[in-house]
Amino acid sequence: MEKFVINGGRKLKGSVKVDSAKNAVLPMIAAAVLTEEETVIKNCPPIGDVVKMTEILRSCGAKTAFCDGNLIINARDISINSVSEKLCGSLRTSVLMLGALAGRTGGAAVYRPGGCNIGKRPVDIHLYALKTLGSSVYDESDRIICCGKPSGGDVYLDFPSVGATENALLASVTAKGVSRIFNPAKEPEIEDFVGFLNAMGAKVYGAGSSCIRVEGVKRLHGAEYTPIGDRIEAGTYLIASAITGGEIAVEGVNAENISSLTGKLCDNSCQISVGNGIIYQKSIRERKAFDTETGPYPSFPTDLQAQITSLAAVSEGTSVIRENVFETRFGHVSELVKMGADIAVDGRTETVRGVKKLYGAVVSAKDLRCGAAMVIAGLAAEGQTIVLGAHHVERGYYGMHKKLAELGADIRGV
């Protein structure tokens, strides 16, 4: 998809079901390398990043296939434990192949990972974790090499990095000894990833707490697993409804996982209720400014910061939004200003002065969540908005424009 064409002004109405969480599915695909048996990840959306991870696994000798909405992986014939520069450069999660391949084959070589341009995104914490777990790690200018099967150990993460927590888990589940990961990420996707590993026969305890304990096992077996719903996809649609003054129901996600967002939407303009696992949102008054700041879970998620900035842009008063996770996650600001928003960025803080309305324009999806923010702004803007770079959005959302059209939006993909 090249671009989205949106004619703004329609209130969203109806119900939408989210897919499995992208950021839970991606580490699960890496973990499939740890067993010679077949694994099945159910309700797996064939979004860009998921397809890329299957290409990485196939390049190492695994077989993968999408069948009836499920992803089937068979990594019996892993014969290569290195990943090409092109594939590594295509997404952040390629770095997880270090822990996965080292755990399976005793060695791994990858190139620096790609991913959204939202900050420096070093991998120092990943490499510290792998070293501490017993591998020898060689960090060359562009390549990273891991030698030796991890033997286990105590890992103290300086920052609760999601990816580094996942790499440490991948390296420790089949290590000889016991491992402990202190200050791990607590995101729901981490707990779900641990659920998948334990379904494969791993012995991982304490996910969601300040210390995860792993008792290494000799081997892992296959598993069939249904990941949790995507809380960021759900949050994106809730914000889209709020900015249009709409009323929607969102199915397939645990409301507790996005309580930081639903609280803000209530401050802004909405009534939110939950029943039978469905989140009901209704716009009940004029949008009002709000403050928030992102942080590791359970703080407000950085992956919804761009989207809620679009909402703040047309909320009466001044909103202050601070981005504490990625130092340059502000690509959406210049694009929103093109549509008439009044936003100033100082360091990591956005000051958003609400304007009466935004106006349609040609804008760019500079990264995945920037793209989502531009679609949201286009839904509320007067006139037509064209969002270029729609492929960025398709890396993380399956059929976003179709789901929004079913909710009444005037949007098409070209």
Considering only 22-30, 130-138, 269-277, 400-408, which stretch makes contact with ligand EPZ by CB under 6 A? 22-30
Give min distance, CB of 221 to ligand EPZ, in A: 25
227 binds ligand EPZ (CB under 6 A): no
Rounded CA-CA distance 44/64 in Å is: 12
93 binds ligand EPZ (CB under 6 A): yes
| Interhelix angle 162-172/22-31, nearest 10 degrees | 30
Rounded CA-CA distance 147/102 in Å is: 7
Helix (H, G, I), strand (E, B) or coil at 307: helix
Rounded CA-CA distance 299/303 in Å is: 11
Give min distance, CB of 373 to ligand EPZ, in A: 11
Amino acid (one-letter) located at 4 = F
SS3 string of 231-262? HHHHHHHHHHHHHHCCEEEEECCCHHHHHHHH
Residues in the interface with ligand EPZ (CB under 6 A) total 26
Rule CB under 6 A: choose which of 16, 18, 26, 380 binds ligand EPZ: 26
Give min distance, CB of 163 to ligand EPZ, in A: 3
Q: 300, 289, 307: which is closest to 324 by C-alpha?
A: 300
**Cis upstream peptide for 301 (omega within 30°):** no
Contact string 371-400 vs ligand EPZ (x = CB under 6 A): -------------------------x----
156 binds ligand EPZ (CB under 6 A): no
Give min distance, CB of 359 to ligand EPZ, in A: 27
Residue closer to ligand EPZ (CB basis): 112 or 287: 112
Considering only 30-38, 116-124, 191-199, 342-350, which stretch makes contact with ligand EPZ by CB under 6 A? 116-124
Residue closer to ligand EPZ (CB basis): 123 or 358: 123
401 binds ligand EPZ (CB under 6 A): no
Are the C-beta atoms of residues 367 and 392 closer than 8 Å to each other? yes
DSSP for 358-389, please give it.
-B--EEE--SHHHHHHHHHHHHHSBSEEEEE-
Site residues for ligand EPZ per CB under 6 A: 22-23, 26, 92-93, 116, 119-126, 159, 161-164, 302-303, 325-326, 368-369, 396
